[in-house]
Chains A and B, each alone.
Chain A
């Protein structure tokens, strides 16, 4: 099966500019996640979609970050305006939706590396 696709791979912007990232999950995966991974740290969940709906965005800085998932498939994550501390790798992941008590493995894309100068 094809993996999770993300674009672009790299992006360099100046602070206060805006940027958008795109993700195409594995076909048939109902759940989509955006993670932020700052250098030297583990991934941190920003937002989780179940089909079209948001089920967790508790750690999303909503004053500058937004995300949407169109028709329950592709997703975009936007930052406007960017700050220096947003420099990180933005990882998209997807999973099937099985019994909540069992969960299911996350499949990650290779991420978008954002540098804010």
Chain B
């Protein structure tokens, strides 16, 4: 069993839709949870960073962490064609040397 599971998609939605992206994980010791966006032939860029359980909102993006279920989500409201990318969840333990464990990524396509 992989430490972090993520549905690879692809996910295709119309412009303006609400998008829900999810990851599950097996190690309850993960404390920090991140979402990275990766455009084709580019490196990942950090979108959201949350600690422990709860919600965090930034513009059209909302990150949710449910540690009791070992489940994290990223919601994108009013999706735009420019949101078309691969979304990678990542997580790490408290302490240590900042080692991130990534999911496989979900490919999202937003069509006009």
Binding site for B on A (CB under 8 A): 4, 31, 40-45, 48, 50, 55-56, 91, 93, 95, 97, 100-101, 103-111, 113
Provide a sorted-by-A list of 10 A–B residue pairs whose CB atoms are within 8 angstroms: A31-B97, A40-B8, A40-B104, A42-B102, A56-B97, A100-B97, A105-B46, A106-B44, A106-B98, A106-B100
Binding site for A on B (CB under 8 A): 4, 6, 8, 32, 34, 41-46, 49, 88, 90, 92, 94-100, 102-105
The complex places the Cα of A108 from the Cα of B86 at a distance, in Å, of 15
Asked if A108 meets B45 with Cβ closer than 8 Å, knowing A41-B104, A42-B105, the reply is yes
Q: What residues on A are CB-neighbors of B92 within 8 Å? A: 103
**Which of B96, B99, B104, B105 has the most chain A CB within a 10 Å cutoff?**
B99
Q: What residues on B are CB-neighbors of A111 within 8 Å? A: 42-43
Given contacts A48-B97, A110-B42, 18 further A-B contacts (CB under 8 A): A40-B8, A40-B104, A42-B4, A42-B6, A42-B102, A42-B103, A43-B88, A43-B100, A50-B97, A95-B98, A103-B98, A105-B49, A106-B46, A106-B98, A108-B44, A108-B45, A110-B41, A111-B43
Total A-B contacts with CB atoms under 8 angstroms apart: 62
Q: What residues on B are CB-neighbors of A55 within 8 Å? A: 97
Q: A91, B43: Cβ atoms under 8 Å?
A: yes
Partner of A31, one of B4, B45, B98, B103: B98
Closest to B8 in A: A40
